Structure 1
Amino acid sequence: MIKTVLFDKDGTLFDFRATWGGWAASFLLELSSGDHAKAAQMAASVGFDLQDRRFEEDSVLIGGTPGDIVRQLLPYVPGVSAAGLVSRMNVMAAAAPQHEAAPLLPLLGGLRERGLALGVITNDARAPAMAHLRASGVAHCFDHIIGSDCGFGQKPGPGQLQAFMEMTGADPSETVMVGDSPHDLIAARAAGCHRVGVLTGMASRQQLAPLASVVLPDISALPAWLDAAEEARTDAA
């Protein structure tokens, strides 16, 4: 029986393309002081097409932490420290308008009414993650929100998931991780959790299916999957 649901943030709770394409272009142009040629070079270094606002499949902007992204961009901004650039990026990211992958408040409220524990496991830093969830009015729905800067590592490592389960006493066999990227599902597998992929990020069904118990169009289909999983468990008992 599933008792805990953990969500990735970008590409799962929020639609990745709709949210981050415009933000990435604005951030890179601001960082390059409006020099489009330089911004295009910086974009290429992080796997982003500035003109088309399109992410490469392996873009560090998709699955990387703020630190990962900054390591690629630092050579283009001499005299700026890594910590300073991370801070600058986090401030701009926290202000980015988020596009919900599905209406979040009714969905999360319904999961809460089932008695489920809920969490967010993200490779984003915790401060911008909290800002996005508060802006959508759903931060209170989660027992814990764990970012890549919380001291538990980052996906695809299992440390963030393990930390949540240790904090709450959740059993991996009763926990499902919902995510849009292979990183999410690999982390969940390493932590011994069930795995649900969604297609509101950058990964295809073909990429997610070998790693997931099921691949859903988006998180709005999660309650029906939970019902079906419980029915199958009951029938097998």
Structure 2
Amino acid sequence: MQIDAILFDKDGTLFDFAATWEAFARALMMKLAEGDITRAAQLGEVIGFDLHAGRYHPDSIVIAGTPAEIVEVLAPWVPGMTKPALIDMLNHEASQAPQAEAVPLGPFLDHLRGHGLKLGVATNDAEAPARVHLGGAGVQDRFDFIAGSDSGHGAKPGPGQLLAFAAHVGVAPEHVAMVGDSTHDLLAGRAAGMRTVAVLTGMAPADELAPHADVVLAHIGEIPAWLGL
């Protein structure tokens, strides 16, 4: 197995999903509901978020959806706001969401780079909040490529972001590993002809991910051992 580059999903992969996006959903719903908790809970159900329990439903659009897809679901319930205004609010709240690193990212990424690996991020989040999150963790400069769903390459499970990364770093797709916590990530990796690595720091269980993955790991910190580094 020759892996020369690794492309990471962001939420649920580099960062723990629940710590980030449960806080985001609560803040967004309360803002949209203008502080009315009953209304906020109703809006939460629209996107598959239980406001009172602080949990996402397994099929929530937020787990793997793009900001545009989330807005398509929300817009009919917020008739006083345009879709562009909703996307702006969503991206702002996303950029403010707290981040919990799945592992200490600086040393982890430096270790991979020290072995000559090219690194990238492909997320269904928008690019601007993704860069804010990576910058907040102090690791944006470790990546050779960062793309969001609005970066012009499409969104996962399509392979556009993945193939753009491979082309950008000059590595054949078969020598790239796509790492993610959702079937969207893994299906995109398979479509791009890459190796697929599932991690369990998102919302999906191992038995859902395993059919689409070459390996299932507890978290990204196990990647060096998988690669023999």
The TM-score, its normalising length taken from structure 2, stands at 0.97
Letter in 1 for 2:119: L
What residue number does 1:4 align with?
A: 5
Shift of 1:143: 0.3
**Residue 228 of structure 2: SS of its match in structure 1?**
helix
Distance (Å, rounded) in 1 between the aligned partners of 2:171 and 2:47:
36
What residue number does 2:170 align with?
A: 169
Distance (Å, rounded) in 1 between the aligned partners of 2:75 and 2:29:
12
Shift of 1:205: 0.3
Distance (Å, rounded) in 2 between the aligned partners of 1:173 and 1:13:
22
Distance (Å, rounded) in 1 between the aligned partners of 2:171 and 2:48:
37
The one-character-per-residue Cα deviations of 1:104-150 (angstroms, maximum 9, x if unpaired) are: 00000000000000000000000000000000000000001010001
Letter in 1 for 2:127: R
What residue number does 1:185 align with?
A: 186
What residue number does 2:104 align with?
A: 103
Shift of 1:101: 0.5
Shift of 1:154: 0.4
**Residue 187 of structure 1: SS of its match in structure 2?**
helix
Asked whether the equivalents of residues 19 and 98 of structure 2 are also in contact (C-alpha less than 8 Å), the reply is no
The TM-score, its normalising length taken from structure 1, stands at 0.94
- After TM superposition, list the pairs within 5 Å mapping 1:1-237 onto structure 2: 1-227=2-228
What residue number does 1:235 align with?
A: none
**Structure 1, gaps ≥5 residues long:** 229-237
**Structure 2, gaps ≥5 residues long:** none
Distance (Å, rounded) in 1 between the aligned partners of 2:75 and 2:112:
42
Distance (Å, rounded) in 2 between the aligned partners of 1:79 and 1:51:
25
Shift of 1:34: 1.1
Q: How many residues align?
A: 228
The one-character-per-residue Cα deviations of 1:145-168 (angstroms, maximum 9, x if unpaired) are: 010001111000111101111222
Spell out structure 1 runs of 4+ moving beyond 6 A: none
Shift of 1:30: 1.1
Deviates more, 1:94-103 or 1:7-16: 94-103
What residue number does 1:234 align with?
A: none
Distance (Å, rounded) in 2 between the aligned partners of 1:15 and 1:143:
22
Shift of 1:32: 0.6
Letter in 2 for 1:13: L
Q: In percent, how many aligned pairs have the same letter?
A: 53
Distance (Å, rounded) in 2 between the aligned partners of 1:64 and 1:20:
12
Shift of 1:20: 1.4
Asked whether the equivalents of residues 27 and 93 of structure 2 are also in contact (C-alpha less than 8 Å), the reply is no
**Residue 185 of structure 1: SS of its match in structure 2?**
helix
Shift of 1:35: 1.3
Alignment RMSD (CA, Å): 0.9
**Residue 72 of structure 1: SS of its match in structure 2?**
helix
